[in-house]
Amino acid sequence: MPKVLITTVPFADKNRLPLDLLEDAAVEYLINPLNKKLTEDELVELVSDFDVIIAGTEPITKKVMDAATNLKMISRVGIGLDSVNLLEAEKRGIVVSYTPDAPAPAVAELTIGLMLTLLRSVQLSNMEMHNGKWHRFFGRRLSEITIGIIGIGRIGAGVLQHLQGFGLPKILVNDISPDSNLNKKFNIEWVDKETVYKQSDIITIHTPLTAQTKNMVRKGQLLSMKDDAIIINTARGGIINEQDLYEVMQTGHLSGAAIDVFDFEPYAGKLREIQRCILTAHMGSMSVDCRTRMEIEATEEAVRFLTDQPLEGVVPEEEYAVQREGL
């Protein structure tokens, strides 16, 4: 009987269908017994007997693969691949699949929500009300500001689409592969990153974590932003240097920030001291519908693999190329 290790948690909390799919296919499975994001060493202790890992953002490294002597497939619940050593998997003939479309709507919506929350100081007003204070904060509207989007893939494009419902804000866009077709649908301006940093009132990050984007936003970039600007990261931890963001915000620079993803999770760093910095627990994809779709798609792909059916979500070659470039 094939065996599947489900490392991502929560799993099947809102919909049992992923587990039903495994049971109907006569697959034995184990859901992460520690009920938390696993470290490399914790994974090593668990993986030895399993044919497939249905994975979250746990580090699936060479060391993990060395211990996973039966591993033939990794089915990623989500889109980011920085936690999977694709090149090591390729050497061993381990198939890697992912669910790139499923989380995008939820992450894009959370990004818009964070923009509105910070522009209107909702989190600060809530805190003051709970402390018995009555203070009416002035704020800004999306249609009156300049918004910078760095990375215009599935999620960045979703944010761009949502912004069209808020009047006609000025939108600056940066991407390594500018798509001129977007200019036919949206009123946007393609610019370099330096222009995004200097001219935007809000900057939202939607790039993958690669060797090129690791620590992409450091003290220099943050200080080049407007004094009252806002920065949001719902993409990947490590793109914004957290220590630099903390130090810059300690000086009073930037009116706000929102960070949903962190270098090390669960996060326990100094940004917790900054009240105008909203911190959320990597919950961008955690709408019931999107999370359920991610789990179902990843499980369906695992079942297809184990039953010799054609796969639908295999990671494309360009993702492997990104990791090769980082060597």
Q: Which of 76, 282, 291, 304 is catalytic?
A: 282
282 is catalytic: yes
22 SS3 class = helix
Cα dihedral 149, 80, 298, 327 sign: positive
Structure tokens at 128: 């003051």
**Integer Cα distance of 52 and 3 in angstroms:** 7
Give the bridge partners for 233, in sequence order: 205, 259
Cβ neighbours of residue 76 closer than 8 Å, sequence gap 6 or more: 55, 56, 84, 96, 97, 98, 99, 298, 315
**Integer Cα distance of 135 and 117 in angstroms:** 16
Whether residue 27 contacts residue 53, with contact meaning beta carbons closer than 8 Å, is answered with: no
100 vs 26, 81, 97, 225, 290, CA distance in Å?
27, 10, 9, 31, 11
Among 184, 165, 181, 157, which Cα is nearest to 173's? 157
Q: How many CB atoms lie within 10 A of CB 101?
A: 14
Cβ neighbours of residue 140 closer than 8 Å, sequence gap 6 or more: 119, 120, 201
The string of DSSP codes covering 48-106 is TT-SEEEESS--B-HHHHHH-TT--EEEESSS--TTB-HHHHHHHT-EEE--SSTTHHH
Q: Which of 144, 194, 265, 273 is catalytic?
A: 265
| Length of the chain (residues) | 327
Residue indicated by tokens 């006609």: 168
147 SS3 class = strand
120 is catalytic: no
Q: Which of 42, 58, 206, 236 is catalytic?
A: 236
Structure tokens at 249: 């915000």
Tell me the catalytic residues.
236, 265, 282
